[in-house]
Amino acid sequence: MRNPPPEVMATWPKPNYDNPDHHDWLMLAAMVFGIGVTVCVILAAQMYGWNIHVWDLKESQAVKGRQVSIAAQTLFLFSSGLAKNSILVSYLRIAPARSWLRRVTLASIALVTALIFIFLIVLWTQCRPMSAYWSLTGGDNCSAEGPSVLSQAITTVVTDLLVCALPLPTLFKLKLPLSQRIALMVVFSLGLVVVFAASMRAYWTHYVTDETYDVTWEGFYLWIWTAVEANLGVICGSVPALRPLFRSIFRSKSSSYYNKTGSHAYPPGTAQGGVVTTVITSPKKASRTWTDNLQRGSKGVRIQDDHIDIEAGTFSGGKRHKDTDSGTSTLEMDTWPSREQPRSWPSGS
């Protein structure tokens, strides 16, 4: 087992021994069910005729397609519900005890959980026996499918909106700079993308169940929006937790960019012996490579795009001018851009 250094352990959050990361496990489960939805969509479109006209559909494809349909609906109920519950559980971490946010969040968790099992029971009991759902001759033994699936789609839109809007008043009241509060609200409002996908799914649910008989051809769009909604719920719900990772990645890329563009900084007292090669580019003259042997200095060295600051460092080689009064070393470059006024160089400490 690797033992992390103290500086790494210092960056770890405070341990949580009571309820460690329940929302993470819920989101992981939602992701697994979401992958199942995606697999069903691919199978339905590529193998079982949910991308062709109903009159071109083979009997075997129709049976398998209905079986995949009920499987996808079951998986979607758990994927969507668990993703929302994961986000709601994370709200409990910022909700004070006995606050309205905590009470509404707990009620929302109960509502979302209840809806999962209500629509699951409706789905699996709408036909008697259950095999009548995918049997081509079992229509008389099934209740109308349209009202139940449309009700499920509409309640999904409503609960998605609830999850998005719930933390916004609390976030706006935080004692943070306005820019940070707005940034937090934007992050938590990413769920509006899921609301849009859910709205499109509700529209196509209505169209397929009430407006057309060519359900396999038009149902293709319903399948697509179902998969999009399931996966966006997991992605958008994970964005707040991934913020430190994104910050670290962008910071690393930013440092790499400055190193490539010739902007380097050596903290005071850390300059090491060696060779420093810097390319200085002037808009009026061609670029030139300057190399000097840099010996250990007691101060710092800063090389930027348009000037070089050296504090009490010792150089050998090249053209050098030493100001003994100020204790500052400067380098005279014959390709330095002309200035109307002389540059003011910083004084040594």
**So what's the pLDDT on residue 312?**
44
Query: Which pTM was predicted?
Result: 0.65
Beta bridge pairs of residue 323 = 328
Question: Residues 6 or more apart from 261 whose CB is under 8 A from it?
Answer: 305
Do 89 and 95 form a contact (C-beta atoms < 8 A)?
no
- Below-50 pLDDT ranges, the chain: 1, 20, 263-337, 339-340, 342-343, 348-349
Predicted pLDDT at 335: 44
Residue 78: predicted pLDDT: 96
Take residue 52 and report the two structure tokens written for it: 């062709």
> Domains in the chain, ordered, with CATH?
19-251 (1.20.1070), 262-331 (no CATH)
Distance of CA 29 to the CA centre of its chain: 18
For position 293, what pLDDT does the model report? 40
The predicted pLDDT at position 260 comes to 58
Q: Which residues contact 126 (CB under 8 A, 6 or more apart)?
A: 133, 142, 143, 145, 148
Q: According to the model, what pLDDT value does residue 168 have?
A: 81
Task: Tell me the CB-side half-sphere exposure of residue 178, using CA atoms within 13 A.
Answer: 0
Question: Which pLDDT does position 34 carry in this prediction?
Answer: 95
178 vs 101, 185, 243, 349, CA distance in Å?
21, 11, 19, 38
